[in-house]
Amino acid sequence: METIELEISGFRHQASLHRAMGHRVNKTIVYYHGGGFIFGSKDDLPVYAIHTLTSAGYDLLCMEYPKAPEMSLSQICDFIEQQLMWYLENHKNLDLSKDYILFGRSAGGYLALYLAKIMVSKKDRLPSKLIIFYGYETLNKPEFILCSDYYLNYPKLTWDDVKSAVEKQPVFETIVQKRYPLYIYARQTGQWLSLLGINEIKKKEEIGVQGIEIPDIFLAASFYDKDVRYQNSLEMNKEYSNSLLFTSWSNKHEFDEVENSESVELYKRLLEWIY
């Protein structure tokens, strides 16, 4: 792995680059991690998944991005747009291809869809494909606005319990043990959108790709996901004729986190689809 240093909007941060092994297909997978925009790390992809993708000849560039509530979702979206422009302008310096695929898991899937929408609107340097694992294209869903029944099963948290996790400066890399309770609190209280800087659903925060021709999409989600409902992926699969949906029967949100027969089959199907 190589650590790439970059600066966007005056904020220095890093990306992780895993170069293709063996025969290189000269395509870069640009990856955005999950964590509800509040926590998470660019290095959260399982080792077996990284090995599978790079062994198949793909370069994998894992991006870090600033978190909420230190930055609003609107600011995060603006940031990753500039970040992608940085990649497209500097790919030769990194010895990477300008032919890229956007990959996001959970909240990162939302960000990948947002970037696809932006690039379609620019009509320039579109991603060749999209990979969205257990993601969503809109925050205008009751499950995101109201208190989550799933997270109400966790010990009850108050703002006083979690407020020390909020920093005065933008945060990139986060410590799960410190930030995850903040996300639990947000979902328990129905304050998630508020922590993302959204007091009402605004056009800026809507993916709104309906009617826009976007690249082929590979979707994956668990039927029994209690964090982000399977229905979100199912609706996207029905909405886009150029999509393929892989359904897991695990009860885990990040069902590909552990290498097993199902997750190995997932990445096998993904590579067949990319080809």
DSSP SS3 for 29:
strand
- Residue 121 pLDDT class (50, 70, 90 cuts): confident
Q: Decide: 111 and 32 in contact? Cβ < 8 Å.
A: yes
- Residue 234 pLDDT class (50, 70, 90 cuts): very high
Q: What is the pLDDT of residues 154-182, one digit of tens each?
A: 999 999 999 999 999 999 988 888 999 99
Asked whether residue 111 is domain-assigned, the answer is: yes
Asked whether residue 39 is domain-assigned, the answer is: yes
Q: Is the pLDDT of residue 206 over 70?
A: no
At 149 the pLDDT is 92
What average pLDDT does this structure show over 84-89? Answer: 95
Domain count for the chain? 1
Closest CA to 8 of 69, 78, 60: 78
* H or E segment and range at residue 53: helix 47-55
Asked whether residue 42 is domain-assigned, the answer is: yes
- Residue 199 pLDDT class (50, 70, 90 cuts): confident
CATH number at residue 74: 3.40.50.1820
Regarding beta strands 28-32 and 59-63, do their DSSP bridges make them parallel or antiparallel, or are they unpaired? parallel
- Which of these ranges, 58-67, 82-91, 210-219, has the smallest mean pLDDT? 210-219
Asked whether residue 110 is domain-assigned, the answer is: yes
Asked whether residue 163 is domain-assigned, the answer is: no
Asked whether residue 17 is domain-assigned, the answer is: yes
Separation between Cα atoms, residue 218 and residue 269, nearest integer Å: 10
Q: Decide: 102 and 127 in contact? Cβ < 8 Å.
A: yes
Asked whether residue 36 is domain-assigned, the answer is: yes
Separation between Cα atoms, residue 84 and residue 203, nearest integer Å: 21
Q: Which domain holds residue 62?
A: 2-137+212-274
Separation between Cα atoms, residue 124 and residue 190, nearest integer Å: 38
Asked whether residue 176 is domain-assigned, the answer is: no
Side by side, which strands form the sheet with 216-222? 2-8, 11-18, 59-63, 28-32, 100-105, 129-133, 216-222, 243-248
Q: Bigger pLDDT: 124 or 103? A: 103
Q: Is the pLDDT of residue 203 over 70?
A: no
